[in-house]
Structure 1
Amino acid sequence: MTFDQRQLSAFLAIVEHGSLGRAADVLHLTQPALSRTVKRLESQVGAPLFERNSKGMLLTAVGEALLPHATLMERVAEQAHEEIDAVRGLAKGTIRVGGIASVVGLLLPLAIQRVLTRWPNLKVQIIEGVWDRLADALVKHEIDLALGVAADESEEIVPIADCYWEDNSYVVASAGHPLQRKRQVSLADTIDQRWASTPKGTAPYQHLHEVFRSKGLGKPNIVVETRSIITLKSLVSHAGFLCWMAGPMFEDERRVGLMSALAIPGLDAHRRLTVFRRRDGIMPTPAVRLLDELRQLALHNRRADQNPAD
């Protein structure tokens, strides 16, 4: 079944705005014209897409089934237009990228700054989140690149082998936490403290538990789970919680004295990070430009780690 892009755009506009009138205003159409467009799409599908009631336009089961496919086709069409503009030399388009907090906080802004210096007409859309959210966004074409902890490829997502770097993770606490004043701190000293963490199934949660297991320890006392990095930092800085964080994630707070890593001897928690893309399809030109800058920054970081005295 071949869909008309204008009909899909009309369908998505009604979904977004909730009523025929508001969608018509946004699309600069009359309500009768928009209604006819939707009826043609419903005729093609063979079933109603909306239920009309006092609250507006609500999706039917068939409409719900069509929605993700219509959204994907709309995004692909937008990317095609951007690619054509790039070929014509207009150097426009949108970089759609996602990253975990430690990457969004340092490496990604540097790469974006370098890209926009060379191509100032580009725009950028960023999603920050834990890996399951980023992987889903990559598959759904919400983003074209995802920056996260290195992992095996899947049927839909593959890592970019030559674009990787490393960081370290630490047990972090506020400047006034009692363990900061202890002369010698071990990982075992932290196990019964109150911990805040990202939820089970996320990379930081798994990394934390792997470190404890490697030291022959039980599970830390995680009493708060949240995907909000702002909340995690606040719990550490103002409520006395411990948290497991990558170094770049709390660098700004460390500089102003709000929190710092506990000095735990023998705690060496490296992790590798990389960039992922969809397995199939051509990467949009704006994403390629960002990837080039990420490659250069990642290479610089690896060389700096190998030659720390340089």
Structure 2
Amino acid sequence: MKLKLNQLDILLEVAAQGSIGKAAKALNLTQPAISKTIQEMEAEIGLPILQRSSRGVTLNEYGQVLLRHARDIDRSLHQAREEIDHLLGKAMRQLRVGFTSAASYGPFTNTMIEFQARYPGVKLVAMEGRPHQILDALQNQRLDIAVLTAGTSIVQSGMYYEPLYALSNTIIAGDQHPITHTTSLKSLMNYPWLDWDEPGEHSILAQVFRRYNLPQPQNIVHCSSPWVMARMMEQADMVSMWTSVRLRFPGYNVNLRPLALREVLPATSIGVLCPNIGRLSTAGNTFLEMLRINARDWLQQSDAAEMVARV
């Protein structure tokens, strides 16, 4: 006999309700679906299992045998669920989260605070890095989950990826930079640039210049620290491409300003990455659900409307 668990669930509900209609309502199914399942069970065992009358349905002697074992199976599955939950509960002792600086504003920080307050017993470890560094840490099991700016290589990594929102980008300079009017990428080529990543597939700046069929500037300093970048732009005629959230960080908007550009810059996608969503720990799943809710709520705020790209 090959019976499915959902068939046994229906059998248990029909026996409890004494009515196919009531069982269908309780399980949020249609009456024909319930009747079809009963017919399939009867075909599998080769015997009828129901007795029908004007008052409803009852299980006959064959159905009663099946019901008794269905209850045993249901109890065993419940015990298995409790044991699994106990084992998974051990995973609530630690959560290692990776993030990029652009992804840390708004819902991510709110989620970190909320998670720590709700689960003070969980050891929360957060690591900041560039996207390819975070990806490497996930692949080598040094992190459980990450919230990051996602390029093509991240999305196609074979890991579970879930987009949350997209941020607009802008060209940033110090407030003493000689460019004060609307400009273009080409007119900024001769100035020193700051890029987040070294040349290659990870460099978003390189992708932008390729998009407009321009060679990369000759003078590029590669730096992953926004704080160091900000100080360099304050003291020299340097430019860089930043996501819209970066000027919201304390101390960054005092001596820095966005430049008006003729070109349309591509948006930066912010999303969640983990090796396997099905194997994510209880702590990881809890953090992810909190993040989804916080991201949804944040997107309704005026603060987000000024930074989020509508793609």
The answer to whether TM tops 0.5 is: yes
Instruction: Report the Cα offset of residue 260 of structure 1.
Output: 1.9
Aligned partner of 1:149 in structure 2 is 149
1:201 and 2:200 correspond: yes
Per the alignment, residue 89 of structure 2 pairs with 87
How far does the alpha carbon of each residue in 1:217-247 deviate from its partner, in whole angstroms, 9 at most, with x for none? 2212343113333322222223332111112
- The alignment partner of 2:127 has SS state of strand
> Which contiguous aligned blocks of 4+ residues in structure 1 show a shift greater than 4 angstroms?
83-86, 253-256, 301-305
Residue 274 of structure 1 and its aligned partner are, at CA, apart by 0.9
- Between Structure 1 and Structure 2, whose CA radius of gyration is higher? 2
1:178 to partner: Cα distance: 1.0
Q: Compute the displacement of 1:97 (Å).
A: 0.6
Report the alpha carbon displacement of residue 114 of structure 1 after superposing the two structures with TM: 1.8
Please name the residue that 2:213 is paired with. Answer: 216
CA contact (8 A) 1:132 1:202 kept: no
Q: 1:208 Cα deviation (Å)?
A: 1.8
| 1:230–1:201 Cα change, 3 Å | farther
- Equivalent positions of 1:7-156 (< 5 A) are 84=86, 87=89, 92-150=92-150, 151-155=154-158
**Separation in 1, partners of 2:246, 2:252:** 12
Kept in 2, the 8 Å contact 1:254–1:260? The answer is no
Could you tell me which runs of 5 or more consecutive residues in structure 2 were left unpaired when the two chains were aligned: 1-84, 307-311
Tell me how far 1:268 sits from its aligned partner.
3.6
Displacement, 1:142? 1.2
Q: Determine if contact 1:146/1:275 at 8 Å carries over to the other structure.
A: yes
For the Cα contact (< 8 Å) 1:95–1:287, is it kept in 2? yes
Instruction: Calculate percent identity across the aligned residue pairs.
Output: 19
Task: Give the gaps of 5 or more residues in structure 1.
Answer: 1-82
Q: Does structure 2 retain, via aligned residues, the 8 Å contact 1:100–1:129?
A: yes
Deviation at 1:111, TM superposition (A): 1.1
| Alpha-carbon distance between aligned partners in 1 of 2:107 and 2:218, rounded to the nearest angstrom | 31
Q: Give the TM-score normalised by the residue count of structure 1.
A: 0.61
SS at match of 1:243: strand
| TM-score with structure 2 setting the length | 0.61
Task: Say which of 247, 255, 264 aligns to 1:267.
Answer: 264
CA apart distance, 1:308 = 4.8
Give the letter for the 2:121 counterpart: N
Amino acid at match of 1:227: S
Superposed CA RMSD in Å reads 2.9
Displacement after TM superposition at 1:86 (Å): 6.1
Measure, in 1, the Cα distance between the counterparts of 2:249 and 2:95: 26
Q: Indicate conservation of the 8 Å contact 2:192/2:238, yes or no.
A: yes
- Output the amino acid matched with 1:216: N
AA in 1 matched with 2:245: P
SS of match in other structure, 2:168: strand
Q: Report the 3-state secondary structure (helix = DSSP H, G, I; strand = E; otherwise coil) of the residue aligned with 1:114.
A: helix
1:235 equivalent among 232, 236, 239 = 232
Amino acid across the alignment from 1:184? T
With over 3 angstroms needed to count, the CA separation of the structure-2 counterparts of 1:216 and 1:167, relative to structure 1, is: same
Give 1:193 deviation, angstroms: 0.5
The one of 291, 295, 299 equivalent to 2:292 is 295
1:259: Cα distance to partner? 0.9
Contact 2:199 2:206 in 1 (8 A): no
Which residue of 1 is the match for residue 81 of structure 2?
A: none
Equivalences, count:
217
Equivalent residue of 1:178, what SS? coil
